[in-house]
Structure 1
Amino acid sequence: MKKIKSICCIGAGYVGGPTMAVIAQKCPEITVTVVDINDKRIAAWNEKNVENIPIYEPGLPEIIKEVRNRNLFFSTSVNEAIQRAEMIFISVNTPTKTYGLGKGMAADLKWIELCARQIASVANTDKIIVEKSTLPVRTAATLKSILTTTGNGVKFQILSNPEFLAEGTAIRDLLCPDRVLIGGDQEDREGREAIQALVDIYREWVPETRILTTNVWSSELSKLTANAFLAQRVSSINAISELCEKTGANVGEVANALGMDSRIGSKFLNSSVGFGGSCFQKDILNLVYIAKSYGLHEVAHYWEQVIVMNDHQKRRFAANITRSLYNTVAGKKITLLGWAFKKDTNDTRESAAISVADYLINEQADIAVYDPRVETEKIYSDLDSLETRTDLENRTKLKVFSDPYEACKDAHAIAILTEWDEFKSYDWARIYNCMIKPAFLFDGRNLLDTQKMLNLGFVFRSIGAEPRSAKVVKIRTAKVG
C-alpha cells in the first residue's frame, strides 16, 4: 500500500490540535490539515503569536511554530480538506447526552454522525477513517453503515486509534507514548492495509514494540476501560482519605505504602478534592450505560460507584470549609486558587472548582478566584452552565482576580483546587498577614508543606489527614518534651 501523503483531522480541540501537530513534526512529508466549523477557534490556532493558541499545553507552541504553514494547516474549509485527504481523523466532542434516550449517561454521537455524513457526501476517492474521539464500543459499525450506503462507489476503511493523553503532559505523551493502539478489520486484506498505513505513520517516531493492533471493538472498549480503571484508583484512594481523617492515619503515608507494592504501583494514588476533565466521568457513565443496555446491572452498579465517590469527595470538601468556619460562610470571602481541573492546562471541564464554588455560593459565601491560565469569561461560563442561578447573581457572588495576592487579601479562608506549581512558591507569610484571622487554608491537592503552613499560623486542612492548627502543634510538642 502506498504511503499516506495527506491527512485531514476534523476537530481542532484538545486532542486534534496537539496530535496533528506532532504527526506533522515527525512526518514532514505528510500534509496535515486540521479543520473545524468554529472559525474563532481556527483563527486562534492561526494566531501569529504561538503563545496565543487556544490550548495551553507545555511544548505545544514550539511545535506549532516549527510546522504551521509548512505541512500543518488550520482551516474552516472542511469539504476541501476531506476531498484532498487519504486519511481522515475524526476528533470531535462526544459529550454525555443531556436529552432523550440515555440522558445523563450515554455518549452523544450527533457530531460523529454529522462528520460521517459530511465525509460521505463529499468524498470522491477511497478514504481511511480514523476514530480519534473516545467512542462507545461498536461505534465503528455505525460509521461504516453511514459511509457505505452513499452509492457513489467510494470505499472506506474504519480504524479505531484512541488517544491516551493526559492534559498537561499531552506533548510528552504523544512523543513517547506507553502504547499506540490501532483497531481495524484484521480479517480483510484492505482492512489490514489500512491498519498498516497508520502503523507506518507512528513508526516514524514510536518503537514498533509499542504499537498494538487489535480488532476495532477491542480498541474502542480499551479506551473506555483505561479511563475507568484510572478514575477507579482516584476514587479508591479518596475513599480511604476520609477514613484517614477520622482515624489519625495519613493518606499520603498509606498511598506511599501501597505504591511500593509492585502489584499496585504508585501512579494515580494522590488523594485530592476529586478528579475532573473531559474523559473520566464521561467515559465511566458511557461504560455504565453500555453495561445496562446489555442487562449487566451488577457491572453497571460497580462502575457507577466511582462517580458517586468522586461527587461525594467534592461535596465533603466544600462542606468541611463551611463547618470549619463555624458552620457559616455567609458574607465571608473564600478564595479559590485554581479553576482548571489540573495543572498545566486551561481545560476546566468537570473541574472540582466549579462544584466547590457552586456549593459555597449556595451557602452565601463571597468567592474570589485566581487561576494563571483560565480566562475570566470561561470561569463565569462554567458556573452559568450549572443553571443554579442567573449570570448576574454569579457575577455578584464570584469575582475573578489577575493577581493571587489581591485574591487572597481579606479572605477568611483559601482553598487550593488546582495543583499549579507556582502556588508552592508564593509568599505565604505575606498571604497569612493579609487574611482575616483565624486564617484557614484548605489544601485540596495536598500541595503545600503542612508544617510550614502551621508554623506561619494557618489553621490547616489537607485531604486525608487530621485537621491541624499551630496551637495543636505547640501543645503536642510540649507534651512530648
Structure 2
Amino acid sequence: MSHPSPVRTICCIGAGYVGGPTMAVIADRCPEIQVTVVDLNAERIAAWNDPDLSRLPVYEPGLDAVVGRCRGRNLHFSTAVEPAIAAADLVFLSVNTPTKTKGVGAGQASDLRWIEASARQVAACSQGHTIVVEKSTLPVRTAETVQAILTAAQGEGAPGDGSTPGKSFSVLSNPEFLAEGTAIADLENPDRVLIGGEDPVAIEALADIYAHWVAPEQILRTNLWSSELSKLTANAFLAQRISSINSIAAFCEATGADVQEVARAIGTDSRIGPKFLKAGPGFGGSCFQKDILNLVYLCGHYGLHEVAAYWQSVVDLNSWQQHRIARLVVRRLFGTVTGKRLAVLGFAFKADTNDTREAPAIRICRDLLEEGAQLAIYDPKVCAAQIARDLGQAELPAEASERQALSGEGSWRAASSAFEAGAAADAALILTEWGEFAQLDWQALAAGMRQPAWVFDARAVADAAAVRAAGLQLWRVGEG
C-alpha cells in the first residue's frame, strides 16, 4: 500500500556510532525535517545534549560542528522513545546487532533481539503510515521478520490484539557504508546511497531526503534482499583485502621483501587499486568481523560449506596476525615479557575514533597480559574505563603495578601521554595509527626507556630513521 505523504518528521532508534552522525547530517542538510534520535541509555543521550560539544559520546572529526549547527533547531536527542515514534513519518532502526554469544548460531549469527524489540515498539506506538528503514547491518531476509511484526499491527485488528486501526508500514533497507574516522565526510560525500525495498513510493520518499545533497546517479535502488546482502558483501571484500595483505606482510618479513613496496606495486594495477592494502595488526571495528561471521553462518545454513570455509579463513587469518604480533614481541624481548613494562601506543581500532570494538589492541594486550607484561596504555580518545571493559581487567595504579611485576601476573594502567607510557619501558608498541605517533620525539622517548629497548610498529607509521637514530631497535610490520 503506497502513501505519498512527504516526510516531515524522522525518528532514529539508536544513538550510537551510526545513528548519531547519520541523523546529524540529515538534519543539517534538511532543515525542514524534524529529526529525533532516541535511546534508552540516559547517559548517552545526556552526552549528546551536553553543551560542551567536545563531550559528545562519539568522536568523529567534524561531528561537533554539524551537531552544533542543528541541535535544538531540528535535531533532538531524547529518551522519550514512544512519543518520537508516534510523531514520525519515517523511523530508522539503528540499534546494535552483535554476534550471538550463546544458543543457535553462537559465535557467527547476529543477535537480533534489539531489532525485534525496536520493530515491536514501532508497531505499538506508530500512527498512520510509517516508513521503517533498516539502518543496522542485518542478515539477509531480516526485513521479513520486521515486516511480519509490523503487519500484525496493521489494519483494523482483531478485538483485544492490541493493534490500532489505520496503521500501515513500508519496510526499506538503507545500509550505512561509513568508515569510522571519516564518517562525516562519508555522509556528506558518499560513494553511493543504497535503498532496497518493494514499495516504490516509500523508496522515493527516502531518496528525496538524500537528494538534498546527493547526486541522483549516486542513489541506487534495489530489492530488499540485495540491499541487505550488499552491506555484508562490501565489508567481507574489504576485510578480505586486509587479511590478504597481512598474509603477504608475514611472507615479506620471512624473505626480506618490504610489504609497502609490494602494496605500491600491485596497487598501481587498475584491476586491484591501492585502497585497503596497508599492512597492520588486522581489522577491527563493529562491522567487519561480525558481518563476515554472519556471512559464514548464512552460507552454512544454505549448505554452501566451501563458501563458508573461505570467508571463515579471512577471520582466522586476522586473529592469527594479532597473536603473531604478540608472540613476536615476546620473542624479541629475550623470550619473556614477565614483569617487563611495555608502552602500548593506541587502543582504538583505528585513528580518529574512540571506538574500540574488536580493536586489534585488545587481543594483543590480552596475550601480553597473559605472558605477565606490565602495560602502560595511551590513547588520545579512549578512556581508562573503556580499556578496562575491553580487557576484562581493572586498571592497576603504578605503585601497585611495580609490586605485581614481581609476582608474574600481568597488569595494565592508563597513561596520559606517549612519554608517560614509555617511562622505564622495555618496548613501545604502536597499535593505532594516530597522527601524533608519526611525529614522536624518539630521542626524548628513548631517554626514558630501559635499554636495550624496542619499538614494534604494527602500523608502519613511525619515522624509522628517527627511531634508529635514537638507539632503539625497530620492527615494522611487513619489513624483512
TM-score (norm 2): 0.94
Q: Show the 5 A alignment for 1:224-263.
A: 224-263=232-271
Match of 1:174 among 184, 187, 194: 187
Q: CA deviation at 1:393?
A: 7.6
Instruction: Write the distance in 2 (CA, Å) between the matches of 1:115 and 1:365.
Output: 43
- Partner Cα separation in structure 2 for residue 137 and residue 14 of structure 1: 22
Q: Among residues 18, 21, 24, which one is paired with 2:24 in the alignment?
A: 21
Which residue of 407, 431, 442 corresponds with 2:445? 431
Within the alignment, does 1:12 sit opposite 2:15 as a pair?
A: yes
State the AA in 1 paired with 2:250.
Answer: E
Contact kept, 8 Å, 2:348 with 2:354, in 1: the verdict is yes
C-alpha distance in structure 2 between counterparts of 1:5 and 1:270, whole Å: 43
* Superimposed CA distance per residue, residues 242-279 of structure 1 (whole angstroms, 9 cap, x where no aligned partner): 00001000000000001000000000000001111000
Q: Check the 8 A contact 2:133/2:173 in 1, yes or no.
A: yes
What's the counterpart of residue 421 of structure 1? 435
Deviation larger for 425-434 or 292-301 = 425-434
Specify the alignment match of 1:404 in structure 2. 418
The whole-number CA distance in structure 2 between the counterparts of 1:449 and 1:237 is 22
Residue 85 of structure 1 corresponds to: 88
**Deviation (angstroms), 1:453:** 1.6
1:171 is matched by which residue type in structure 2?
Answer: I
Deviates more, 1:355-364 or 1:263-272: 355-364
Aligned mate of 1:376, from 370, 381, 384: 384
The alignment partner of 2:172 has SS state of strand
Detail structure 1 runs of 4+ shifted over 3 Å in the superposition: 390-396
The residue that corresponds to 2:71 in the other structure is 68
In 2: Cα distance, 1:433 partner to 1:439 partner? 10
Deviation at 1:423, TM superposition (A): 1.1
Counterpart AA for 1:201:
I
1:225-304 to structure 2, matched below 5 A, reads: 225-304=233-312
Residue deviations 1:282-341, cap 9 Å, x none?
000000000000010000000000000000000000100000001000110011000000
Q: Residues 432 and 459 of structure 2 are in contact (CA less than 8 Å); yes or no, is this contact kept in structure 1? A: yes
Deviates more, 1:417-426 or 1:165-174: 417-426
Equivalent of 1:134, from 117, 132, 137? 137
CA–CA separation in structure 1 for the residues paired with 2:419 and 2:333: 21
- Unpaired runs of 5+ in structure 1? 186-190, 385-389, 467-481
1:5 Cα shift? 0.4
Residues 211-255 of structure 1, C-alpha deviations (whole Å, 9 max, x = no match): 000001000000000000000000000000000001000000000
In the alignment, which residue of structure 2 is the partner of 1:38? 41
User: Could you tell me how far apart the structure 2 residues matched to 1:192 and 1:432 are?
Assistant: 63
CA distance in 2, matches of 1:355, 1:28: 44
The residue identity in structure 2 corresponding to 1:49 is D
Residue type matched to 1:403 in 2? S
Q: Structure 2 CA distance, aligned partners of 1:449 and 1:274?
A: 21
C-alpha distance in 2, partners of 1:447/1:21?
Answer: 32
Local SS of the residue matching 2:284: coil
In the TM superposition, what is the alpha-carbon distance from 1:3 to its structure 2 partner?
2.0
| Structure 2 match to 1:208 | 216
Residue type of the alignment partner of 1:317? I
Distance (whole Å) between structure 1 residues aligned to residue 25 and residue 184 of structure 2: 8
The residue aligned with 2:339 is 331
Give the Cα–Cα distance (whole angstroms) in 1 for the partners of residues 251 and 224 of structure 2: 42
1-side partners of 2:396 and 2:448: how far apart?
27
Q: Kindly indicate whether residue 466 of structure 2 is the aligned counterpart of residue 452 of structure 1.
A: yes
Deviations 1:2-44 (A, max 9, x none): 3210000000000000000000000000000000000000000
Matches within 5 A, 1:49-60: 49-60=52-63
Tell me what 2:160 maps to. Answer: none
Range with bigger deviation, 225-234 or 141-150: 141-150
Tell me which residue corresponds to 2:171.
Answer: 158
Deviation at 1:392, TM superposition (A): 7.1
Structure 2: how far apart are the matches of 1:143 and 1:3?
23
**For residues 8 and 392 of structure 1, what CA distance do their matches in structure 2 show?**
39
* Aligned residues of 2:88 and 2:126 also touching (Cα < 8 A): no
Which secondary structure state, in structure 2, belongs to the residue aligned with residue 379 of structure 1? helix
Matched residues in 2 for 1:380 and 1:402: separation? Answer: 15
3-state SS of 1:310 partner: helix
Deviation at 1:427, TM superposition (A): 1.1
| Cα drift, residue 402 of structure 1 | 1.1
> Does 1:441 pair with 2:455?
yes
Higher mean displacement: 85-94 or 455-464: 455-464
8 Å CA contact 2:130, 2:168 repeated in 1: yes
Alignment partners' CA distance in 2, 1:425 and 1:465: 20
> Could you tell me how far apart the structure 2 residues matched to 1:291 and 1:424 are?
42
AA partner of residue 328 (structure 2): N
Residue in structure 2 matched with residue 184 of structure 1 by the alignment? 197
- For 1:109, the equivalent position in structure 2 comes to 112
Letter in structure 2 aligned against 1:163:
E
Distance 1:391 1:295 in 2: 44
Distance 1:320 1:83 in 2: 56
Which residue pairs with 1:387 in the alignment?
A: none
CA distance in 2, matches of 1:311, 1:354: 11
Q: Report the more deviating stretch, 280-289 or 449-458.
A: 449-458
How many residues are paired up? Answer: 456
| Distance apart, 1:124 and its partner CA | 2.2
Kindly state the Cα deviation for residue 369 of structure 1 after the two structures are TM-superposed.
0.3
CA RMSD of superposed structures (Å):
1.1
Separation of aligned partners in 1, 2:16 and 2:293: 22
Per-residue deviation, residues 163-220 of structure 1 (Å, max 9, x unmatched): 00000000000000000000000xxxxx100000000000000001100000010000
Secondary structure of the 2:428 match is strand
The yes-or-no answer on 1:351 pairing with 2:364 is no
Q: CA shift at 1:406, angstroms?
A: 1.1
